[in-house]
Amino acid sequence: MPLKTAYLAPLDPTLDLTFERIVDVPVERLWQAWTDPSHLIHWFTPEPWSTVQAEVDLRPGGRFATLMRSPEGQEYPNAGCYLEVIPNERLVWSNAVQPGFRPAQATAAGSTDFAFTAVISLEALGPSTTRYTATVLHPDAATCQRHAAMGFHQGWGAALDQLVAHMTRG
């Protein structure tokens, strides 16, 4: 599904990673999982890691932050800025930009230690079925390759599995 944002560069397979899956969760529930901190902490980080804090200021220029904890107890803060918020359709944020669109310090890219922009696209295919697409844009090929080697597809896939399980529980 092509992204509709006019100012977003076309996807480049040497710079960008993308993950797409059709899930049996209504688009509104997926949106809620991404935008409500009380849901984010349950699924955002692939097990055995955990997300122990989440902050959402859901507006362009607003803060998106998580605190991840490794199985050994080491904590990794991640913070960034929402760039685009289209309810039930698209969420875009970057750790290269801080709230209020202030540029982040080069060393403040979070636990990943590299800058990126993430795009979550949701497309309702029916009342309870959604096309879920996660795309991460990188500044250069080396960073993209590093993120892929870190397990982008497995990690984002596991997180989506956790999201689906969490949002479909009674």
In terms of CATH, what superfamily is 17-168? START domain (3.30.530.20)
Asked if 63 and 78 touch (Cβ cutoff 8 Å), the reply is no
Question: What pTM did the predictor assign?
Answer: 0.89
Domain boundaries, the chain: 17-168
Name the more confident of 68 and 110: 68
Buried b (16+ CB within 10 A) or exposed e, 56-80: beeeeebbbbbbbbeeeeeeeebbb
Nearest partner of 156 among 23, 56, 57, 18, judged by Cα: 18
- Sign of the alpha-carbon dihedral angle for 169, 40, 159, 47: negative
- CA 14/CA 145 separation, integer angstroms: 8
Q: Are strands 75-86 and 90-94 parallel, antiparallel or unpaired?
A: antiparallel
Percentage of residues of the chain with pLDDT beyond 90: 85
Which residues does residue 153 pair with via DSSP β-bridges, in sequence order?
A: none
φ, ψ (nearest 5 deg) of residue 130: -135, 140
Q: What pLDDT digit, counting tens, does each position of 155-166 carry?
A: 999 999 999 999
pLDDT for 117-144, tens place per residue? 999 999 999 999 999 999 999 999 999 9
